[in-house]
Amino acid sequence: RAALPSRRPEPITRSTAPFVSDTGGSMSAPIDEVAAGVAAVAIAQDDPDAGGEQVVTPWDVAGGADGKIDYAKLVDDFGCSTIDDALIQRIEKATGCRAHPFLRRGMFFAHRELDQIVTAYEKGEKFYLYTGRGPSSEALHLGHLIPFHFTKWLQEAFKVPLVVQLTDDEKFLWKSLKLEDARRLARENAKDIIACGFDPRRTFIFSDVNYMCTPFYLN
């Protein structure tokens, strides 16, 4: 699951040059902005007057002294690396597919060990994709669907299996949902995930309650 929000970094100045990656031009403008911001983080961390600390966790998001989220600082704090043109070109060469717009436009701008996955794929080694959904609503909204749409592209480009875990047990235990409601929401959310168009031959979707220890919850 993504630890970084998907919006572009507000503290980093946007390039005034037209962005032309979709027509075959440079893809580097948004990526270079993030890379420059990451370099600036090291300097800012040594400044005692840098202001209040931002907080980004799975549960809380709060900006720094200026109220904004510094995405370049997040890249540094989470031990990530920026996704540069070289990595994008490697992905395109290895898969024979054009990079997803989220990559070309710098919307997905950081990673951890994606380069190692690409290296393994280049060597013919196997891997699979793993993601999930905590079913606590009747349907998936746009924020939920963004990573699933990107995962669909990854599955198509790399031609790999996908495992989707539905954590209905977690919602039953921690969200005060009745067990039957948690299981129903898992089924409804699974429909939305299936509708993204994943390859049924390479996709396995499972519910924790159904596959891990059903009697424990039912009794």
Contact, 132 vs 166, CB < 8 A? yes
Spatial distance between the Cα atoms of 107 and 4, rounded to a whole number of angstroms: 11
| pLDDT at 3 > cutoff 70 | no
Three-state SS for 101? helix
pLDDT digit string (tens) for 15-71?
Answer: 323 333 343 445 556 666 666 555 555 444 444 444 578 999 888 999 988 989 998
Q: How confident is the model at residue 131 (pLDDT cuts 50, 70, 90)?
A: very high
pLDDT on residue 147 = 96
pLDDT of residue 22: 41
Name the nearest CA neighbour of 102 among 58, 147, 69.
Answer: 147
Token digits of residue 162: 């996908």
Q: DSSP secondary-structure letter at 22?
A: G
